[in-house]
Amino acid sequence: MIKAIIFDVDETLVYYEGYSLREWYESIAIPAMKELGILIDWETFRKMAKGELPRSYVENFGIDHVEFWKAMDRANRRYREKLLKEGKIHAYPDVDVIKKLKAKGIKLAAVSNASQENTELVLRAFGLLNYFDVVLGKDYSYLDGVKPNPYLLEKAMNILGVKKEETLLVGDSELDVKAGKNAGIKVVQIVRDKRVEGADYYITNLNELLDLIERDS
């Protein structure tokens, strides 16, 4: 029986007009890195962001990795605030299912590789924050614990007090699928763009979660 659902946030619940990691790197990350007196090349940055290299890998360039990622998160905060002001961040129309899930007594968590502050900022902007029992962004005490590492998912389940077999992870990306598999929980891919191999279920609308839960109860 499904008692809890863990949601990814970006591109699962909300989306950003015209966003691409490469554009973000060039317009946001490079200026922030220059303030630190460092410049990480695109391919290395991409691999760290996509979980192909650990976040701590940046220390090979002579900078403390916590200091580096905190600087990136401060830059990301300014970026998100600007986009919100310009009306360029949107909640997907089907996020209202969160209210229905909450009403059914399902425990809800939001887990993101973004910082805690930046994750809460976006959820709050769309009136979603209070529906979640747990919200977790990256943990500065263990930055390599971001997805696809299962650390944040396991932390969310511990706080919620649920077992792996009672939990679903809902996300849009390969990182989410890998993280769910690493945590030993079933993964639902919401296909916002392209289908990712390895998920247990595929949906095109979050309202389909209601049927999944009914079948599992």
Mean local confidence (pLDDT), 24-47: 97
Q: Is the pLDDT of residue 2 over 70?
A: yes
Interior angle at CA 58, CA 80 and CA 119, nearest 5: 25
At residue 216, the pLDDT reads: 74
pLDDT in tens, 142-195: 999 999 999 999 999 999 999 999 999 999 999 999 999 999 999 999 999 899
Domain boundaries, the chain: 4-15+90-216, 21-85
Q: How far apart are CA 92 and CA 15, in angstroms?
A: 7
Mean local confidence (pLDDT), 200-206: 97
Its pTM stands at 0.95
What DSSP character marks residue 5? E
Q: How far apart are CA 57 and CA 139, in angstroms?
A: 16
- Domain 4-15+90-216 homologous superfamily, CATH: HAD superfamily/HAD-like (3.40.50.1000)
Residue 160 CB partners (closer than 8 Å, separation 6+): 4, 107, 109, 133, 134, 167
At residue 217, the pLDDT reads: 63
Query: In Å, how far are 44, 48, 57 from 60, measured between CA atoms?
Result: 11, 12, 6
